[in-house]
Amino acid sequence: MGHVTLVGAGPGDPGLLTVKGRQAIAEADVVVYDRLVGPEILALMPNRAEQIDVGKRSSHHPVPQWRINEILLEKAREGKRVVRLKGGDCFLFGRGGEELELLEENGIPFDVVPGVTSALSVPAYAGIPVTHRDFTSSVHIITGHAKKNGELHIDFDALVRHGGTLVFLMSVTSTPHILNGLMQAGMPPELPAAMVERGTLPRQRKLVATVGTLAQRMREEGIKSPAILIVGAVCALSDRFDWYDALPLHGVTVAVTRPRQRAGTLTGRLRALGADVISYPCIETQDIWPNLPVVEALASLEQYSWLVLTSPAGVDTLARLLEAADMDARSLAHLKLAVIGAGTAKKLRERGLRADYIPDGYDSIQLAEGLIRLVREGERVLLLRAEIGSPELPARLAEACIPFDDIAIYRTIYRNERSEELAEQLARGAIDYVTFTSASTVRGFVQSLPAGAALTGCTALCIGACTEQAAREAGMRTITAANATIDAMIDTLLEHAGNK
């Protein structure tokens, strides 16, 4: 027998998904999701999971509710672990109750993971506490969705009499009627009111006005769904508590090109600073296998004194190669390890190995220069790298008469399914920065895009000199981190964005 978990995905900011919700998604066989669930949360679905988009758009429903209920039942009867993923909280105007009825009638086990509702979190991201002892002691959450005949079923007199903060969901089209209804029931037109569009998301927009003026302001600004309407004296606090719009990278769009597995910290840090981050991994690495040269090299490691690894991917591939050869890190005990980049060194440490040499700069020229200084007479170097690694490293070692073997252990593939969309955004000037953590990501980025994509409108944020050069050659403006770390990249970006 299967099982259904209703999960509230939160209002948009992926950080507002609950720990329990995240876990349920990771364990799901089938995920049935709505339109308001963002791409970062959908990316948490395991690859094996079946994904069913039942996204509802207002005024036309691609999948009717009765059919959604049936899908949940059918999948659970197949013995699947089903996650029903919904925007915000699953029960607050989420029809979660209707979905449970059919399951309960059929004896399907289910549970519920409540979500952070937009009704409370969107005001919070707009600097509006929904209650405050000095202003109000209650909050009312109301749907602004009209019945088929356009009629609103709202008891305006009761709402005005209570004097609590009013939060209206699904109210973009009905806001003028709601505000009129409130004024007719005696609400003073000068009472503060606010509209927040795409709350908790990097493109959040808010309008703070009054009950009398908000409808006009909304029309001028062209506010669209999803948005919520908040009415009450607490809206006046919005400017003082405006923490989200005040984040240093608010309004800045950054495309992150790191491979998905390693984008974590950079993406998270940028988001925390308020940036609109577009995840655009365009490089995938693939082990080269079968690989006779590396099998031979691993079988005769005693001939080498140095092992050079130039990327975190190389460390991972090496670990798999050792495993395949029935070996482990102890076979490397006699080798001195030279790496490029703090990330590569960190990957090694995770495997219980310390790098003996890491050049300050993030590039192979500096690595070559360091090796030329350090490698002694009679010592041989093993380079385990990407198929199209920088030619500088072997060239300089050869020039310095250092014996070495250069073996390709992985290759990079350049692609991203959303390249057309990104090219269109670049052409519109909608992307301010693109981050690059290696020269090969620059090449990957350019190759993944359709030919002739507009690269002159964005600024490349580069981790080091080689990367910078590659970005310049591709026609981009560049800014470059002071040293090869994510921290330094972020400092450089903050400084540059702050001066603009």
Which residue in this structure is represented by tokens 């009209």? 146
**283-287 and 404-414 beta bridge pairing:** antiparallel
Comparing CB distances to ligand SAH, the nearer of 13 and 432 is 13
Distance in angstroms (rounded) separating the CA atoms of residues 27 and 480: 40
Comparing CB distances to ligand SAH, the nearer of 200 and 291 is 200
Rounded to an integer, what is the distance from CA 37 to the centroid of its chain? 13
117 binds ligand SAH (CB under 6 A): yes
Distance in angstroms (rounded) separating the CA atoms of residues 151 and 158: 18
Candidates 93, 280, 433, 445; binder of ligand SAH (CB under 6 A) is: 93
**Per-residue string for binding with ligand SAH, 5-24, x by CB under 6 A?**
------xx------------
Candidates 16, 24, 89, 191; binder of ligand SAH (CB under 6 A) is: 89
Residue 111: CB minimum distance to ligand SAH, A: 17
- Work out the widest C-alpha separation in the chain, in whole angstroms: 93
Contact 451, 424 (CB under 8 A): no
Sole window of 193-201, 247-255, 297-305, 425-433 interacting with ligand SAH (rule: CB under 6 A): 193-201
**276-279 and 306-309 beta bridge pairing:** unpaired
Q: Measure Cα distances from 4 to 52, 97, 136, 186 in Å.
A: 14, 13, 39, 46
406 is catalytic: no
Candidates 16, 36, 45, 453; binder of ligand SAH (CB under 6 A) is: 36
From the list 187, 193, 184, the residue with the least C-alpha distance to 217 is: 193
Which residue's Cβ has the minimum distance to ligand SAH?
88
Sites for ligand SAH among residues 122-181 (CB under 6 A): 122, 169-170
Comparing CB distances to ligand SAH, the nearer of 58 and 137 is 58
Residue 116: CB minimum distance to ligand SAH, A: 8
Sole window of 43-51, 74-82, 90-98, 343-351 interacting with ligand SAH (rule: CB under 6 A): 90-98
487 is catalytic: no
447 binds ligand SAH (CB under 6 A): no
Sole window of 116-124, 250-258, 272-280, 326-334 interacting with ligand SAH (rule: CB under 6 A): 116-124
Contact 117, 11 (CB under 8 A): yes
Residue 187: CB minimum distance to ligand SAH, A: 20
Burial of 359 per CB tally in 10 Å (0-12, 13-18, 19+): buried
The DSSP code for 454 is -
Q: At what angle do helices 214-221 and 175-184 cross, to 10 degrees?
A: 170
100 binds ligand SAH (CB under 6 A): no
**Per-residue string for binding with ligand SAH, 200-239, x by CB under 6 A?**
xx-----------------------xxxx-----------
Which stretch of DSSP H or E encloses residue 196?
strand 192-197
Comparing CB distances to ligand SAH, the nearer of 2 and 11 is 11
Candidates 5, 118, 174, 480; binder of ligand SAH (CB under 6 A) is: 118
Contact 95, 66 (CB under 8 A): no
Beta bridge partners of 256: 279, 435
Distance in angstroms (rounded) separating the CA atoms of residues 139 and 129: 10
Active-site residues, by number, are: 34, 56
Contacting residues toward ligand SAH, per CB under 6 A:
11-12, 36, 87-89, 92-94, 117-119, 122, 169-170, 196, 198-201, 225-228
